[in-house]
């Protein structure tokens, strides 16, 4: 019988990962790759319009229709859009360089996080983790004292730790009699404080295990998921790991994900994809730290609202429709196992509270971790990305806005755009005389494309050298073979085919620059609108915190040069790195900060930019390099 | 494939119920009957020693060994002990009258409960059910007010009902977006108060359903389960139902059940048996009242500690072993569906708190419902049964004890004993001259045996007439053919074979009377020990409440006559009927009483009789009719 079934399935072999998977005939090839844990780019979420998920069929046959995303020549070679292909035989599939997501950069980042100390940090909190283990030596019952097992345990917590009014999870009662007796009445209780409300008894285990008390902090991003395993006794990061969010194959941005969730079974698949990602990270972290998953009692998740809702299986459709309403800003604790995370039954998941549909728990975590809400210093907090998030304020007030900058900063909407991985052009200089470029790439590899920070650096240099004008148009009067007309209009040649890894010329087009201008305009106009909403000007800003993994790679001078960041004294800028993960970690370390998280979310006033007339004005005014109003950028001098 | 499997199974047909069931070859016949929902007596829990589960194999073959519980003659006719038989072919099985449990009496009781108003009742409580439905008309979200769905809902509860600090079940969040929008922002929230602690939001449903708010109250007894469906708007009982606890086939008393639970899979089966019983009752109650199970949000269960632990799947072994420790005296709320009860996911089960291993939530419910804890009147509360429970006290103090009276009052350990069902001899008078009896039976049927209250009446009358002496021995000097020597020693003939339904002489033996004496001695000594434990005598008792379905059938005069109840003025005795169900119902009607329940359980001091030297003395002194110390029973005059 097993044989019969096996004969009906097709085996798909992915190269260069060398991963096999058996699937039903007719399975979608992109989803097959997702199921196998093979990362394929799919910016558009499988709609067939972006052409980033192309693969090469080396053996076997798929059913597929050729679109204009695959040239006739490539089609004849066996190139197919994986999202548009169905498996109809055993296959050998190669994921070409352009379609692959590599872990090299993420792995590099991993070591970076460890050594990096944030320049700004929440202060004044005590190290008192919400999840605590408490060792108890209970007197065995006698005829004079035959209180119930649970009463005895609660009495022990009262007498030995002064804890009253503890609510009890029924799961604890189920195994209690056995645990107490097998352990000779010496047990370790795990309790969990839920912010300002009560204390819950979530687990009892034999013996003294107080020394082994752990939690997890996660930053669940649209592109990548970052996790840390924390020691709740010493307040230390024991291990960290990062991987692409497997949802990436269902679209690069939250809008595609929301659209995918509307398909039949879509929500379930997106949930599965991120849960699988988390489970792989949990296994990795456990292994690294030598901690069993059963020893982890608490999981703190910082994520944008869409990611939270997808993780919990909450339909995200209303996040996208005006008036943009999330399911819940503050969520109750949820058993991690009920979400599908492979931890002990008693482990509880806490999602950082959110402010609005596009201002999520990730940004609240960042504000919490950076301590902006504790200081009088008026601070501008910017997390640049597809969904840019901006906060301005101090301990008295806080305004926030999300601006849809588009995927430009992550390589989307750019002819040779790519995410910041091996071979992405990052550094760029130009010889003012010859107009010849000098490139540096991530991993010092042969160039494969341009990442977001590279794009900023290229645009700033081209602008300064006069290769592009303030309107973003190429100066075709210049005498350089690098400036030429291509298939998509005017372009600047960054690298010739024979210099690249992909065997094609890598160029930056006027369209690319135009997209960048729109993205940076959105971010800048967002900052401006937010500052103006409190009746002020950018001058009131005393500190600028640049958050996010992407943000930490930005060259401030170049970002100001193209008008992405406000023209403030450079010493006001600080990088905080992954503020979301920082906030999640600190929340796992401190009940004080856990309580603060609700307060921070509540004190943030959201400004809905997409509905703001003033934002539209600011946006249009910012569609220029660096800005139509030169007075906004006094320090920027063009060549 | 399905056919192959069917051929391997044997079909067992039970008469007179006309129920078929297919079982694997080798299945135990008694368990087959349980699985089919056919009630068979099995006092000893399938150990093969009581002989109450005999059945007649009319067709087919079982594997069985003959014990002395089946005569050679009966064995040849096809009579087998069902607990000792394995199914090895298709069968037609008849459950003989003696082995059957009939619902007639229970059904009669059902109408009785409705009309009966307790003579004593808790006072001063408000009608404010812990489970409440609250209708909300919420403003739809706008760009100016796009708080999350959950925030909007909680704001509505705060503004419209002044409710703050509500904790939220994650299940509510899952469906919330859809419910709110499909219902045009007009919804009904169900909240649940958990005693003194907080309020939980457990459900949100479309539209205004406030008028349909229901709960269930259950008294889960060792023998029978009684349930009521309650209207939480009007505080009324809409329906009630009763059935034998299906666990009855695993033994008549809690000790046999605990023993059964130690077998492999035993705990699971016992749990299943009582859950099946409850589910049948829920279906019946729903049908009667025209209430969908989904409309029920709260279940209050009053049960002894063993029944509670079996229902929840908590190993009861330590209840039986010194020092008699229950798993928990106060249990958290548990989703009814997680126990297996077929109600909506949000319905929560509350088990009345218990005092000790043998003083359970049933007795706490009785004390609560009768209001003893509210009055200065010193009250003795007695629930007579296999597990007799006694409480003495008032609003200042309360002592309690459980005494193992044995199964005599439920027909166990009595040659022709039976539970109080059709054909059980209940009324008994004797002609002082001829010593001829006058019997009345339940249902006015031909006699089948003697129930507990009948046994008391018979013993009292025989004692008064001098047929038995104060030591319980038959006076063989009397000239009556009814007094004779039988297979088990001396006996009194109650009914000749030709007068009975079972075609055999029904007698009461000296052994039966001896068992009764031991049972009544245990109850009386329990009362005495409890009264003495507070340094007093029975004279301090100002009121005696007789609780329990069995208790309500007792003739007080006769019960005092044999020394079961203390010799107090008759007008001090009141019947409360099913005090446990009363207490469960009132708890479902009032948060005040829900809070009180914890307080009542905590103020009751348990006296462990089985470990008390003074109890043993009192017990030995009570092994006489009515008592060795005649001064204890001044009003009892023997003929």
Considering the domain architecture, whether residues B201 and B218 belong to the same structural domain is answered as: no
Inside any domain, residue A335:
yes
How does strand A449-450 pair with strand A483-486? Answer: unpaired
> Using an 8 Å Cβ cutoff, are B134 and B188 in contact?
yes
User: CB A279: neighbour CB atoms within 10 A?
Assistant: 15
Using a 10 angstrom Cβ sphere, with 0-12 exposed, 13-18 middle and 19 or more buried, the burial of residue A7 is exposed
List of residues 6+ apart from B405 with CB closer than 8 A: B384, B385, B386, B387, B388, B519, B520, B522, B523
pLDDT, tens only, A187-226:
999 999 976 668 999 999 999 999 999 999 999 998 889 9
Per the structure, the count of domains in chain B is: 3
Residue A522 lies in a domain: no
Is the CB of residue B442 less than 8 Å from the CB of residue B451? yes
Q: How far apart are CA A550 and CA A389, in angstroms?
A: 13
| Residue B318 to residue A198, Cβ atoms within 8 A | no
Same domain, A61 and A48: yes
Do A426 and A467 lie in a common domain?
Answer: yes
Q: Which residues 175-204 on chain B approach chain A with CB closer than 8 angstroms?
A: 176-178, 181, 197-198
Residue carrying the six token digits 């040849």 = B76
| Mean pLDDT in consecutive groups of 10 residues from the start of chain B, 639 residues | 59 86 88 77 67 86 84 88 90 80 53 51 87 97 93 96 92 96 98 82 97 97 92 91 89 89 95 97 96 98 96 96 94 96 98 92 95 95 87 95 84 85 93 95 94 95 96 94 94 96 94 95 95 83 90 92 96 91 94 93 91 93 95 87
Structure tokens at B47: 């150990």
Interface touch A178/B315, C-beta < 8 Å: yes
Range of the domain at A584: 361-405+527-632
Quick one: pLDDT at residue A403?
Answer: 87
Q: What pLDDT does A101 receive?
A: 61
* B301: nearest Cα among B401, B219, B421: B219
pLDDT at residue A635 in the model = 94
Q: Is residue B505 situated within a structural domain?
A: no
The answer to whether residues A150 and A267 belong to one domain is no
ipTM computed for the complex: 0.85
Residue B8 lies in a domain: yes
Which pLDDT belongs to residue B235? 87
> What CATH number should be reported for the domain holding residue A540?
3.30.420.40
Residues of B within 8 A of A331 (CB-CB) are: 150, 170, 173
CA dihedral B115, B119, B125, B128 (to 10 degrees): -10
Residues of A in contact with B615 (CB under 8 A): none
Q: Render B167-208 in DSSP notation, one character per residue.
A: EE-HHHHHHHHHHHHHTTTEEEEEEEE-TTS-EEEEEEEES-
Chain B residues in contact with A149 (beta carbon < 8 A): 318, 325-328
Q: Does residue A637 lie within any of the structural domains?
A: no
Please tell me the distance in Å from B153's CA to the nearest CA on chain A: 10
Straight-line distance from the first to the last Cα atom of chain B, in angstroms, rounded to the nearest whole number:
76
CA–CA separation, A213 vs A231, rounded Å? Answer: 6
Closest in A168, A198, A328 to B150, CB measured:
A328
Instruction: Kindly state the average pLDDT of the residues A615-635.
Output: 95
| pLDDT at residue B3, rounded to an integer | 45
How far is B325 from chain A, CA to nearest CA, in Å?
5
Using one digit for the tens of pLDDT, what is the confidence trace for A103-154? 545 555 544 444 445 667 888 888 899 999 999 999 999 988 999 999 999 9
Residues A439-452: pLDDT tens digits? 999 989 999 999 99
User: C-alpha B367: how far from its chain's center?
Assistant: 16
Q: What is the pLDDT of residue B195?
A: 64
Instruction: Tell me: do B333 and B236 sit in the same domain.
Output: yes
Residue B146 forms contact with A (CB below 8 Å): yes
**For residue A610, pLDDT beyond 60:** yes
Task: Judge: A331–B170 Cβ closer than 8 Å, yes or no.
Answer: yes
Domain annotation covers residue A521:
no
Residue A81 sits in a domain of what CATH number? 3.10.20.30
Angle subtended by helix axes A579-589 and A361-370, to nearest 10? 70
Average pLDDT of chain A, as a whole number: 90
Residue ending a domain, among B351, B367, B382, is B351
Greater model confidence, A102 or B123:
B123
Neighbours of A3 (CB within 10 A): 6
Q: What is the pLDDT of residue B5?
A: 46
Q: Tell me, yes or no, whether A308 and A225 share the same domain.
A: yes
Is there a single domain that holds both residue B162 and residue B85? no
A148, A170, A318 member nearest B332 (Cβ): A170
DSSP B291-321: --GGGEEEEEEEE-HHHHHHHTT---HHHHS
Q: Which of A58-72, A299-313, B177-191, B590-604 has the lowest mean pLDDT?
A: A58-72
Residue A294 CB-density burial (10 A; 0-12 exposed, 13-18 middle, 19+ buried): middle
* Alpha-carbon distance values, B147 to A399, A529, A591, B76 (Å): 15, 21, 26, 80
Q: Using CB atoms within 10 A of its CB, is residue B555 exposed (0-12), middle (13-18) or buried (19+)?
A: middle
Same domain, A233 and A114: yes
Residues B270 and B347 in one domain: yes
Residue with tokens 């709740």: A232
State the Cα angle at B31 between B28 and B34, rounded to 5°.
155
Average pLDDT for residues A262-272, to the nearest whole number?
A: 95
pLDDT, residue B385, reads 76
- Give CA B329 to chain center in angstroms: 19
Which of B170, B197, B314 faces A167 most closely, judged by CB atoms?
Answer: B197
pLDDT, position A37: 72
Give which of A530, A261, A248 is closest to A388, Cα–Cα: A530
CATH for A262: 3.30.420.480
Instruction: Please indicate, yes or no, whether residues B79 and B190 belong to a single structural domain of this protein.
Output: no
**Hey, how many other C-beta atoms are within 10 angstroms of the C-beta on A49?**
14
Among B114, B117, B191, residue whose Cα is nearest residue B156: B191
Confidence of residue A419 (pLDDT cuts 50, 70, 90): confident
Provide DSSP, A518-555. HHHHHHHHHHHHHHHHTT--GGG--EEEEESTTGGG--
Condensed to tens digits (0 to 9), the pLDDT of residues A477-495 reads: 998 999 999 988 999 999 9
In chain B, what residues touch A328 (CB-CB under 8 Å)? 148-151, 168, 173, 176
B313 touches chain A (CB under 8 A): yes
Residue A323: cis peptide before it, omega within 30 degrees of 0: yes
- In angstroms, the CA B593 to CA B130 distance is 10
The residue among A369 and A66 whose pLDDT is bigger is A369
Say yes or no: B340 and B230 in one domain.
yes
In this predicted structure, what is the pLDDT of residue A1? 40
pLDDT of the residue at B106 = 56
Q: Which residues of A touch B357 (CB under 8 A)?
A: 146
What is the biggest distance separating any 2 CA atoms in chain A, rounded to whole angstroms? 101
Residues of chain A above pLDDT 70, percent: 93
Yes or no, beta carbons of A150 and B356 under 8 Å apart = no
Structure token digits, residue A211: 């020394």
Token representation of residue A372? 């902006």
The reply to whether omega before A626 is within 30° of 0 (cis) is yes
CA nearest neighbour of B503 among B165, B210, B113, B96: B96
Q: Is residue B403 part of a domain?
A: no
Domain end position, chosen among B351, B384, B406: B351
Q: How far is the C-alpha of A515 from the C-alpha of A533, rounded, in Å?
A: 27
User: What is the pTM for the complete model shown?
Assistant: 0.85
C-alpha to C-alpha distance for A560 and A563, rounded to whole angstroms: 5
User: Which residue in this structure is represented by tokens 């589910």?
Assistant: B279
Among A527-531, A635-639, B295-299, B610-614, the range of highest mean pLDDT: B295-299
pLDDT surpassing 70 at residue A43 = no
- Residue A149 has its nearest CB partner, among B313, B328, B606, at B328
**A32, A19 contact by CB (below 8 A):** no
* Predicted local confidence at residue A535, as pLDDT: 82
Q: Considering B351, B366, B393, which residue would you say is the last residue of a domain?
A: B351
Q: Do A146 and B173 touch (CB under 8 A)?
A: no
Determine the residue among B166, B177, B195 to mutate to test chain A binding: the one whose Cβ has the most chain A Cβ atoms within 10 Å. B177
Question: Which residues in chain A are contacts of B170 at CB distance < 8 A?
Answer: 312, 331-332, 334, 338
Angle at B286 between CA B281 and CA B287, to 5 degrees: 100
* DSSP 8-state symbol, A138: P
Q: How far is A149 from chain B (nearest CA, A)?
A: 5
For B519-528, give one letter per residue: b (16+ CB within 10 A) or e.
bbbbbbbbbb
Examine residue A638 and state whether it is found in any structural domain, yes or no: no
Helix (H, G, I), strand (E, B) or coil at B426: strand
Same domain, B227 and B346: yes
Q: H or E element: which one contains B271? A: helix B266-289
* More confident position, A482 or A548: A482
Within 10 A of B57 (CB to CB), how many other CB atoms are there? 20
DSSP assignment of A433-452 equals TT--EEEEEGGGPPP-EE-H
pLDDT bin (cut points 50, 70, 90) of residue A408 is confident
Burial of A479 (0-12, 13-18, 19+ CB in 10 A): exposed
């Amino acid at each position: 019988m097993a044989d019969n079934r096996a004969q009906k399935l097709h085996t798909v072999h992915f190269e260069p990962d060398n991963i096999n998977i058996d699937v039903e005939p007719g399975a979608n090839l992109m989803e097959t790759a997702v199921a196998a844990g093979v990362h394929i780019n799919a910016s558009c979420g499988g709609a067939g319009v972006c052409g980033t998920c192309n693969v090469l069929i080396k053996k076997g046959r798929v059913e597929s229709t050729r679109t204009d995303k695959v040239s006739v020549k490539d089609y004849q070679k066996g190139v197919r859009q994986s999202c548009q292909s169905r498996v109809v035989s055993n296959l050998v599939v190669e994921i070409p360089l352009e379609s692959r997501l590599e872990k090299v950069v993420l792995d590099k980042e991993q070591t970076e996080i460890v050594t990096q100390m944030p320049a700004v940090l929440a202060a004044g909190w005590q190290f008192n983790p919400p999840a605590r283990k408490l060792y108890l030596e209970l007197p065995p019952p006698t005829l004079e004292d035959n209180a119930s097992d649970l009463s005895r345990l609660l009495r022990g917590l009262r007498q030995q730790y002064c804890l009253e009014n503890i609510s009890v999870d029924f799961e604890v009662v189920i195994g209690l009699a056995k645990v107490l007796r097998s352990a000779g009445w010496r047990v370790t209780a795990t309790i969990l404080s839920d912010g300002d409300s009560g204390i819950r008894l979530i687990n009892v285990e034999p013996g003294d295990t107080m020394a082994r008390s752990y939690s997890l902090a996660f930053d669940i991003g649209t592109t990548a998921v970052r996790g840390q395993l924390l020691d709740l006794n010493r307040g230390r990061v024991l291990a960290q790991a990062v991987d692409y969010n497997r949802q990436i194959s269902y679209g690069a941005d939250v809008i595609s994900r929301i659209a995918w969730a509307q398909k039949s079974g879509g929500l379930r698949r997106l949930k599965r994809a991120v849960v699988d990602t988390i489970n792989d990270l949990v296994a990795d972290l456990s292994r690294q730290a030598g901690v069993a998953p059963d020893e982890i009692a608490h999981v703190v998740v910082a994520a944008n609202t869409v990611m939270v809702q997808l993780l919990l299986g909450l339909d995200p459709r209303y996040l996208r429709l005006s008036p943009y309403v999330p399911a819940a800003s503050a969520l109750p604790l949820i058993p991690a196992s009920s979400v599908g995370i492979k931890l002990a039954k008693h482990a509880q998941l806490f999602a950082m509270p959110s402010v609005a549909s596009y201002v999520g728990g990730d940004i609240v975590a960042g504000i919490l971790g950076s301590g902006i809400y504790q200081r009088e210093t008026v601070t501008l907090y910017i997390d640049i990305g597809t969904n840019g998030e901006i906060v301005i304020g101090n301990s008295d007030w806080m305004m926030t806005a999300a601006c849809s900058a588009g995927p430009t900063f992550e390589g989307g909407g750019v002819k040779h755009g790519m995410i910041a991985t091996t071979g992405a052009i990052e550094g760029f200089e130009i010889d003012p005389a010859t107009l010849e470029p000098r490139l540096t790439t991530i991993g010092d590899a042969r160039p494969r494309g341009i990442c977001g920070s590279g794009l900023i650096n290229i645009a700033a240099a081209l602008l300064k050298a006069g290769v592009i004008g303030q309107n973003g148009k190429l100066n075709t009067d210049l005498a350089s073979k690098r400036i030429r007309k291509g298939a998509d209009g005017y372009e600047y040649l960054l690298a010739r085919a024979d210099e690249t890894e992909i065997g094609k010329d890598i160029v930056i087009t006027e369209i690319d620059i135009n997209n960048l201008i729109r993205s940076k305009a959105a971010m800048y106009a967002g900052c401006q609108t937010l500052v103006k909403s409190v009746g002020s000007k950018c001058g009131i800003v005393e500190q600028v915190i640049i958050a996010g993994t992407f943000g930490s790679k930005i060259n401030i001078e170049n970002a100001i040069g193209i008008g992405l960041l406000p023209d403030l004294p450079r010493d006001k800028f600080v990088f905080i790195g992954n503020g979301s993960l920082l906030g999640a970690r600190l929340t796992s370390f401190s009940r004080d900060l856990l309580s603060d998280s609700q307060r921070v979310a509540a004190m943030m006033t959201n400004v809905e930019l997409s509905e703001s007339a003033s934002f539209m004005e600011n946006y249009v005014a910012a569609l220029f390099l660096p800005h139509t109003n030169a007075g906004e950028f006094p320090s920027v001098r063009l060549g």
